[in-house]
């Protein structure tokens, strides 16, 4: 399982046409079903109160239709109850679905404002507290930063894709620093999220779905309070390197990268140990029973 560029698609890809048709049709039905069921409930209960119930299960189930096997490892220092900003690599239109599958706890997305006006999908985004990013640059940062503070006050984390655009070659593009500044100004920690294998599943430029082995890493929360502008830029590059090393080479370098970052900013607390040293079981994927006391220390392939 590696995220590597595919230069040419051959006639063999035709065998994935039936699977792709089923996956797209089923995913659309599940998303519309989630909207239809959630809208009446949201009239009486805020969406964040029931987001991790049937909406999460229905949206995550879209990935089951692709025939992929998914593994999630969560850093032991991660607390799903503490609001944070997730910095996730951007590969596929299914990135939000893998985030829903992998990330426990309540979160919303940072979305292009135009997406909130799309039929069906836009309704779900608005109901799910998505933060719109205006097209106009004037005052944009101030609006987004204010929305970060609002979601944090309500106990809602924010999912971001700092690359801004999907990768064209499977490699992680440079991260934009805006979401990191907004995280600092809202007093929120940043959590790296790296999904390896998504480029093999559904890269940009094709509608064909190919079953893949996907391995997601959720890193430790990185405090942003008190960082200077230069240190925020340093953090942006540090998180990008952590995510890129996993996505491109299968190396989880969070411990050493964060230890070096903490040393540069002069913090006394060292970075938490990597997942391999003290693994923690992630929330079970939809349809699977919760692990028992003697369960595996990280989620198994499903």
Q: How many residues does the chain have?
A: 302
- Residue 98 is predicted with a pLDDT of 96
CA distance 86 to 183: 10
Q: According to the model, what pLDDT value does residue 10 have?
A: 61
Per-residue pLDDT tens for 139-162? 889 999 999 999 999 999 999 999
Predicted pLDDT at 293 = 29
pLDDT of 9 reads 54
Q: Is residue 195 part of a domain?
A: yes
CB 102 within 8 A of CB 282: yes
Q: Specify the DSSP element, H or E, that contains 242.
A: helix 229-249
Q: What is the reported pTM?
A: 0.84
What single DSSP character describes residue 270?
P
The 8 Å CB, 24+ separation contacts for 204-207 are 204/91, 204/92, 204/166, 204/167, 204/168, 205/168, 206/9, 207/20, 207/24
**Looking at the domain assignment, is residue 144 inside a domain?**
yes
Number of domains in the chain: 1
Q: Of the ranges 80-94, 118-132, 274-288, which is most confident?
A: 80-94
Residue 73: count other Cβ atoms within 10 Å of its Cβ.
23
Residue 51 within any structural domain of the chain:
no
If pLDDT is split at 50, 70 and 90, which confidence band does 125 have?
confident
Q: How far is CA 182 from CA 55, 96, 150, 166, 185, in A?
A: 28, 20, 12, 21, 5
Q: Is residue 49 part of a domain?
A: no
Please report whether residue 50 resides in a domain: no
**Residue 37, domain member (yes or no):** no
Task: With respect to residue 288, please indicate whether it lies within any of the assigned structural domains.
Answer: no
Domain residue limits at 148: 69-265
| Residue 259: CATH number of its domain | 3.40.1130.10
Q: Which two structure tokens, joined as six digits, stand for 201?
A: 């599943």
- Residue 85 placed within a domain: yes
């Amino acid at each position: 399982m590696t995220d590597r560029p595919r230069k040419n698609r051959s006639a063999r890809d035709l065998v994935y046409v039936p699977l792709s048709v089923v996956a797209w049709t089923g995913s659309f039905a599940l998303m519309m079903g989630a909207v239809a069921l959630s809208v009446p409930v949201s009239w009486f209960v805020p969406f964040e109160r029931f987001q991790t119930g049937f909406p999460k299960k229905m949206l995550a189930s879209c990935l089951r239709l692709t025939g992929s096997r998914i593994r999630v490892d969560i850093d032991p220092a991660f607390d799903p109850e503490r609001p944070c900003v997730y910095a996730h690599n951007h590969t596929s239109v299914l990135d939000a679905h893998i985030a829903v599958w992998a990330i426990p706890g309540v979160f919303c997305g940072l979305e292009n404002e135009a997406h909130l006006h799309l039929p069906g999908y836009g309704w779900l985004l608005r109901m799910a507290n998505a933060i719109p990013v205006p097209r106009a640059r004037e005052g944009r940062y101030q609006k987004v930063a204010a929305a970060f503070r609002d979601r944090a006050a309500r106990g809602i984390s924010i999912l971001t894709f700092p690359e801004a655009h999907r990768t064209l070659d499977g490699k992680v593009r440079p991260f934009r620093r805006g979401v990191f500044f907004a995280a600092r100004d809202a007093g929120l920690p940043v959590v790296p999220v790296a999904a390896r294998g998504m480029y093999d599943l559904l890269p940009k430029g094709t509608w064909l779905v190919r079953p893949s082995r996907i391995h997601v890493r959720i890193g430790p929360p990185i405090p942003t309070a008190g960082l200077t502008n230069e240190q925020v830029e340093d953090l942006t590059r540090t998180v990008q390197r952590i995510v890129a090393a996993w996505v491109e080479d299968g190396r989880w370098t969070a411990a050493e990268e964060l230890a070096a970052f903490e040393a540069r900013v002069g913090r006394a607390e060292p970075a938490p140990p990597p997942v391999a040293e003290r693994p923690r079981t992630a929330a079970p994927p939809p349809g699977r029973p919760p692990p028992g006391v003697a369960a595996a220390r990280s989620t198994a392939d499903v």
